[in-house]
Amino acid sequence: MSSPDVCPPPPEVSAGAHIDSYEKYKELYERSVQEPNAFWGEIANDFYWRVPPPQPLLRYNFDVTKGKIFIEWMKGGVTNICYNVLDRNIHEKKLGDKVAFYWEGNEPAESTSVTYAELLKKVCRFANVLRSQGVTKGDRVSIYMPMVIELVVAMLACARIGAIHSIVFAGFSAESLCERILDSNCSLLITADGFFRGDKLINLKQIADEALKKCDEKNYHVERCIVLKHLGRDEVTCDGMNKTSPPCKRLCADGQTSWNPSRDLWWHDLVKDASAECEPEWCDAEDELFILYTSGSTGKPKGVVHTVGGYMIFTATTFKYVFDYHGDDVYWCTADIGWITGHSYLTYGPLANGATSVLFEGLPIYPDISRMWQIIDKYNVSKFYTAPTAIRLLMKYGEEPVKRHSRKSLKILGTVGEPINPEAWLWYHNVVGEKRCPIVDTFWQTETGGHVLTPLPGATVTKPGSATFPFFGVVPAILNESGEELEGEAEGYLVFKQPWPAIMRTVYGNRQRFETTYFKKFPGYYVTGDGCRRDKDGYYWITGRIDDMLNVSGHLLSTAEVESALVEHSSVAEAAVVSHPHPVKGECLYCFVTLRDGHEFTKKLTDQLKILVREKIGPIATPDYIQNAPGLPKTRSGKIMRRVLRKIAKNDHDLGDISTLADTSVIHQLFENRCQIVD
C-alpha cells in the first residue's frame, strides 16, 4: 500500500463544510484562545438558559503555587442539559419526529428506533420514577447497563432532575462495580436482567447482586435497584420494543432473574403509570453532571467529574465541527456508553445537535465478519467513529468483506482511543473510505470531556498517525523534564495551558488527588500523562503514555491495579506488569510474578491468575502473558525498573543504563523464563 505523507481534504468535503479551509480554522482558533469569553459566549447563546451566563464566562487557576486549582465556566448561568438536548430540539427546532437513535441489537434481527419526541417522553417518565424513589438534585445514581436505549434514558433522566450519573461499563466485574458505588456514595443502582455479547450470555443482574452484596459487607447499603427487563423483552409490552430473536427466547425459557423484593424493582412496573411530563431541575452551569471512573496510576480508579454547562457547549461544538455535522447525517459511534466516548459522542454531543445516531449493542464481527459494513449500509451511515483496535481487527479479514458492501453513504471516518498506526490509518482511508472520506484522528481523554487535538474534515491536511492540531480553545505545549516549553520540532510531555469548557473539574471526593495528578508536576499546566512529538510543520503526534498506564484496545488500565489483583493470590509474593505490543489490541498485559517460597509455577496457577484478574477488574484486563520471575529488577531504593521488564518481554537485550540496579543477576533468569509470544 503506498503511503502518502499528507492527505488534503477532498474539495467536495470542504465545499459544504462548516470550516472549509485551514485559514478559517486558524482565524477561529486564534479568536477562541485570545478571547475565550466572547468566543464561547456566542456558542452558549445557541442554548436555552433560564438565566444567561454572566461575563466573564471563564474564571480559573491552573497554578498550584498560587493557590487551589479551580475551573469555572459560565457559573451563575442556569440551565438544564436534558432540556437542551431534547425539549429545545423538539420545540425550537421542530425535530420531534426525527429519529434520535436507531437501535441495532446484538442479533441482526433485533432493531428499533426512537424519535426525539418519544425519547423525551421516556426520559420524563423515568425522571418522575427517580423522583418518586426519592432521588433529588446532587444525588449520585449508578448505572450498569448494556447498550440499550434505556441506558440513554436513564442518564438523561438523571440529568433532567439534577442527579449525578455514574455509569459503570457493563464489562466491569462485581468488585469494580462495588468499588465505584462505594466511592461515589450512590443510593440507587440501575441495571438490566442481562444481555448477549455475541453468543455469550452476560447475567448482569447476578453480577450487580454480587456487587451489592460486597457493598453490604462493607456496611454500605444501596436501598434501591431498578432492573430493566432486556432479555425477556417480548414479555413486556409497555415500552414498545419488540425483541424476537432466538437467544432472547432462550433466556426467557430459563427465565430466572434473582430478586430481592425489598430492594429490587422492575423498570417496566415503575414507568407504567409515570407521567410523561417532567419539569426539569434548573441547574447552575457548574453543577455536577456526571462522574466517570478512569484508571489511575496508583491503582484506585479516579472519579472524573464533569459539570453541566461547559460540557454541554463543548461536546456540542466538537461534534458539530469535528464530524462536520449536517442535518441529514446518520452518525454511528461504536463506543460503549460506559466510556467517555459514549457519553460525549453517542449521547450528549449528537443529541445537542439534533442528530440521528446508530446505537449498537453488538460486537464488530458477530454473527459474521461483515456486521459493521452491513450496519453502515442498512442505515446509510455518513459519519462513522470507531477505535484503532476495531480497525485492526477488521483489517485481519482483508478487503473482500468490506468491498462486498456499498458504503457509498460514508463521508467522514473518525478514530479515537489510542495512537493509530499508519498502516491501520491507510487501510481505513483507502479501503473503508475509498480515499473519499477524511479521517479524523481525535485525541482526548476522559478528563478532557471532548476532543482536544483533532483534524477538521474540510480544513485540515492530515498525516496518517497524527492527531494534527488543537481544537478551538485548546492551547497545547510540549515540555521537557525540567518543565521548559519546547518550541518548533520537539518531543516531550503533552500539557495544556488554559482550560477549555469541558475540562474535568475535580476527582470526586478527592480534590487533593485532582491537583497532584494533573497540576503538580508542572505548575501552571494541565498534564495529560501522554508523550508527544511536534513535527516541522507543527503537527502533533501522540507517542503514548508516560506514566504507569497501559492502553488495551483503547481502554486505559493501570499496571498497579493489575498488580494488586495478582498479589491477592496466595502463591504470589510480588508482581510487575508491563505493556507489550499486540497486533489487534494495540497493547496487552505482560505480567511477571514472583512466587512465595514452596509454591510452584504451573499452567494451573497462570490460569487461576487470569481468572482472578478478570474477576477483580473485568475481562479487558485479562493478562496475555504471565511469566515466572524468581527476582525482579529493582533499583537500590526498591523501585521496579519496568523499562527493563518491557525489554525482557520483547527479548531485546539492549537494556540501556542498568547501573542503578541493585542486583543485575536477576536479568539472565528473566530472559530464560520469557513467555512464547503468539501474534
Contact positions toward ligand WT7, by CB under 6 A? 294, 339-341, 416-419, 441-446, 467, 528-530, 542, 545, 551, 554-556
Contacts (Cβ under 8 Å, ≥6 apart) of 225: 188, 189, 190, 191, 208, 212, 260, 263, 264, 265
Least distance in angstroms from the C-beta of 492 to ligand WT7: 15
The residue ranges of DSSP E strands in 224-370, in sequence order, are 224-228, 264-266, 283-284, 288-294, 302-307, 330-333, 356-360
Least distance in angstroms from the C-beta of 619 to ligand WT7: 16
Q: How far apart (Å, rounded) are the C-alpha atoms in residues 502 and 318?
A: 10
- What φ, ψ does residue 127 adopt, rounded to 5°? -65, -40
Least distance in angstroms from the C-beta of 396 to ligand WT7: 21
CB 590 within 8 Å of CB 649: yes
Least distance in angstroms from the C-beta of 443 to ligand WT7: 4
SS3 content of the chain, % helix, strand, coil (to 5): 35, 25, 45
Helices 36-44 and 308-322: crossing angle in degrees, nearest 10, is 90
Residue 91 has which C-alpha cell?
Answer: 420545540
- DSSP-assigned letter for residue 301: P
Least distance in angstroms from the C-beta of 465 to ligand WT7: 9
CB 270 within 8 Å of CB 128: no
Least distance in angstroms from the C-beta of 528 to ligand WT7: 6
Q: How far is CA 524 from CA 63, 66, 150, 477, 515, in A?
A: 4, 9, 42, 11, 11
Give 332 or 443: the residue with its C-beta nearer to ligand WT7. Answer: 443
Give 125 or 555: the residue with its C-beta nearer to ligand WT7. Answer: 555
CB 80 within 8 Å of CB 283: yes
Q: How far apart (Å, rounded) are the C-alpha atoms in residues 36 and 262?
A: 52
CA angle 116, 117, 120 (to 5 degrees): 85
Q: How far apart (Å, rounded) are the C-alpha atoms in residues 421 and 370?
A: 23
Least distance in angstroms from the C-beta of 510 to ligand WT7: 17
The dihedral of CA 94, 96, 101, 102: what is its sign?
negative
CB 251 within 8 Å of CB 210: no
Give 139 or 530: the residue with its C-beta nearer to ligand WT7. Answer: 530
CB burial of residue 208 (10 Å; 0-12, 13-18, 19+):
buried
Give 204 or 453: the residue with its C-beta nearer to ligand WT7. Answer: 453
End-to-end CA distance of the chain: 22
434: left (phi over 0), alpha (psi -120 to 50) or beta: left
Q: How far is CA 405 from CA 126, 367, 393, in A?
A: 39, 16, 18
DSSP code string of 258-284: ---TTTEEEHHHHHHT--S--PPPPEE
Give 21 or 445: the residue with its C-beta nearer to ligand WT7. Answer: 445
Give 77 or 618: the residue with its C-beta nearer to ligand WT7. Answer: 618
Residue nearest to ligand WT7 (CB): 446
Least distance in angstroms from the C-beta of 493 to ligand WT7: 12
Give 417 or 623: the residue with its C-beta nearer to ligand WT7. Answer: 417
CB burial of residue 607 (10 Å; 0-12, 13-18, 19+):
exposed
Least distance in angstroms from the C-beta of 94 to ligand WT7: 33
Give 150 or 441: the residue with its C-beta nearer to ligand WT7. Answer: 441
Least distance in angstroms from the C-beta of 635 to ligand WT7: 26
Give 77 or 554: the residue with its C-beta nearer to ligand WT7. Answer: 554
Q: How far apart (Å, rounded) are the C-alpha atoms in residues 289 and 312?
A: 10
The dihedral of CA 191, 195, 197, 201: what is its sign?
positive
- 3-state SS class at 496: strand
Give 101 or 169: the residue with its C-beta nearer to ligand WT7. Answer: 169
Q: How far apart (Å, rounded) are the C-alpha atoms in residues 98 and 628?
A: 58
Residue 629 has which C-alpha cell?
Answer: 520471575
Residue 421 has which C-alpha cell?
Answer: 498506526
Residue appearing with cell numbers 419488540? 242
Least distance in angstroms from the C-beta of 531 to ligand WT7: 9
- DSSP-assigned letter for residue 64: G
Least distance in angstroms from the C-beta of 245 to ligand WT7: 30
Give 446 or 462: the residue with its C-beta nearer to ligand WT7. Answer: 446
Q: How far apart (Å, rounded) are the C-alpha atoms in residues 354 and 85?
A: 7
- 3-state SS class at 23: helix
Residue appearing with cell numbers 527479548? 651
Q: How far apart (Å, rounded) are the C-alpha atoms in residues 11 and 9?
A: 6
- What φ, ψ does residue 447 adopt, rounded to 5°? -70, -30
Least distance in angstroms from the C-beta of 48 to ligand WT7: 28
Give 22 or 444: the residue with its C-beta nearer to ligand WT7. Answer: 444
Least distance in angstroms from the C-beta of 387 to ligand WT7: 8
Least distance in angstroms from the C-beta of 171 to ligand WT7: 13
Give 165 or 545: the residue with its C-beta nearer to ligand WT7. Answer: 545
- What φ, ψ does residue 173 adopt, rounded to 5°? -80, 170
Give 557 or 632: the residue with its C-beta nearer to ligand WT7. Answer: 557
Least distance in angstroms from the C-beta of 461 to ligand WT7: 17
User: Which three-class secondary structure string do you get for 457-476?
Assistant: CCCCCECCCCCECECCCCCE
Least distance in angstroms from the C-beta of 416 to ligand WT7: 5
Give 443 or 539: the residue with its C-beta nearer to ligand WT7. Answer: 443
Give 297 or 374: the residue with its C-beta nearer to ligand WT7. Answer: 297
